[in-house]
Amino acid sequence: MTDPQAPLKNFTPKHEFFVGIDSDGCVFDTMEIKHKECFIPNIVNCWGLQAISKYTREAGEFVNLYSKHRGINRWPALLMVFDLLAERPEVQRRGVKLPEAPTLREWAKTEKALGNPQLKAAAEKTGDPVLKRALAWSEAVNKSIAEMVHDVPPFPFVRESFEALSKKTDMICVSQTPGEALQREWEEHDIAKYAAVIAGQEMGSKTEHLKLAAGGKYPPERCLMIGDAPGDLKAARANGFLFFPVNPGSEEASWQRFYEEALARFFEGSYAGDYEKKLTAEFDAILPDVPPWKR
């Protein structure tokens, strides 16, 4: 079996700087359409939650869009939705049997690369009905995304930033979206040419992507992660890299700030310290960790 992480492990620097960039919600304004129109309707349909669709939508939107969990892998996110639903008195009163999914929980806890190929292998090996159902849900999500998500261009100032970065920087896409969708979206808008590697969920976590591609290959102060979710910041910090936040709700202003201000600071070595602390403090204040129905 081919090692899915080989493109990251074999990556060789060509420039003196390195930048990892998230995709959904960071480069493209696709988070809302993907979760509201593709993920959540398929959670309701595939997991039999029609009687509590309102609460499923609220939980799904909180986990994936409007909380500090934003941007996490689809499997932990799905399980988090189930757990939030189980806690709600409104759901309990409806008498709906929620998926317990113990085998999916175990798989999500032990599998290093949480992607469809790995889940399919586990489902085929064990014959487990929950894993089969989870795979069917994920494939339905991917089908919905392929049919619906197109003609969504990068945010303003992304292209200009990529062009400026490309002169001195090795760039890779760092995402928990399936690689096939990433490749399609980056090629559709002619920005795949800027990425040395397009790394999706099949290649492991974002922390692993950065470590395998850049760990020990560049000075840490010349490595930057650009992202819109706390998980992106966590991945950067785990590798000792700098972080630039694309603030949810202010993406265009964030990219303009990157292009006009932060980019030069990164290249000249004045990004770390007070400037980065100010940006990350702003970012940290945007997303809550407690659902609105618990406040």
pLDDT at 245 over 80: yes
- pLDDT tier, 76 (very low <50, low <70, confident <90, very high otherwise): very high
Q: In the prediction, which pLDDT does 295 show? A: 84
**Rounded Cα–Cα distance for residues 179 and 203 (Å):** 8
Phi, psi angles (nearest 5°) of residue 97:
-80, 115
**Which has more confidence, 284 or 113?**
284
Residues near 224 by Cβ (< 8 Å), separated by ≥ 6? 17, 18, 19, 20, 236, 241, 242, 243, 244, 266, 271
H/E stretch holding 249 reads none
Residue 20 CA: distances (Å) to CA of 77, 227, 279: 22, 8, 17
Q: In the prediction, which pLDDT does 49 show? A: 97
**Rounded Cα–Cα distance for residues 137 and 249 (Å):** 29
Tokens representing residue 87 in the block: 């806690």
Q: In the prediction, which pLDDT does 34 show? A: 96
Over range 245-262, report the average pLDDT: 98
Q: Across the strands, what pairs with 227?
A: 245
Beta-carbon neighbour count of residue 229 at 10 Å? 28
**Rounded Cα–Cα distance for residues 178 and 199 (Å):** 9
Percent of all residues in the chain with a pLDDT value above 90, rounded to a whole number: 97
Over range 121-129, report the average pLDDT: 97
What is the per-residue pLDDT across 150-188, written as a single tens digit (0 to 9) for each? 999 999 999 999 999 999 999 999 999 999 999 999 999
Q: In the prediction, which pLDDT does 1 show? A: 62
pTM above 0.85, yes or no: yes
Q: In the prediction, which pLDDT does 113 show? A: 86
**Which residue blocks in 1-157 are alpha helix, DSSP H?**
6-9, 31-34, 40-46, 53-64, 74-87, 89-94, 102-110, 116-126, 129-148
Over range 238-256, report the average pLDDT: 97
What is the per-residue pLDDT across 199-215, written as a single tens digit (0 to 9) for each? 999 999 999 999 999 99
Q: In the prediction, which pLDDT does 123 show? A: 97
Over range 71-88, report the average pLDDT: 96
Over range 188-195, report the average pLDDT: 97
Q: In the prediction, which pLDDT does 102 show? A: 97
pLDDT at 267 over 80: yes
Nearest to 210 by CA among 191, 187, 233: 233
Tokens representing residue 285 in the block: 């204040």
What is the per-residue pLDDT across 20-69, written as a single tens digit (0 to 9) for each? 999 999 999 999 999 999 999 999 999 999 999 999 999 999 999 999 99
Beta-carbon neighbour count of residue 38 at 10 Å? 21
Tokens representing residue 252 in the block: 């265009």
- Domains of the chain from N-terminus onward: 6-29+154-284 (3.40.50.1000), 31-148 (no CATH)
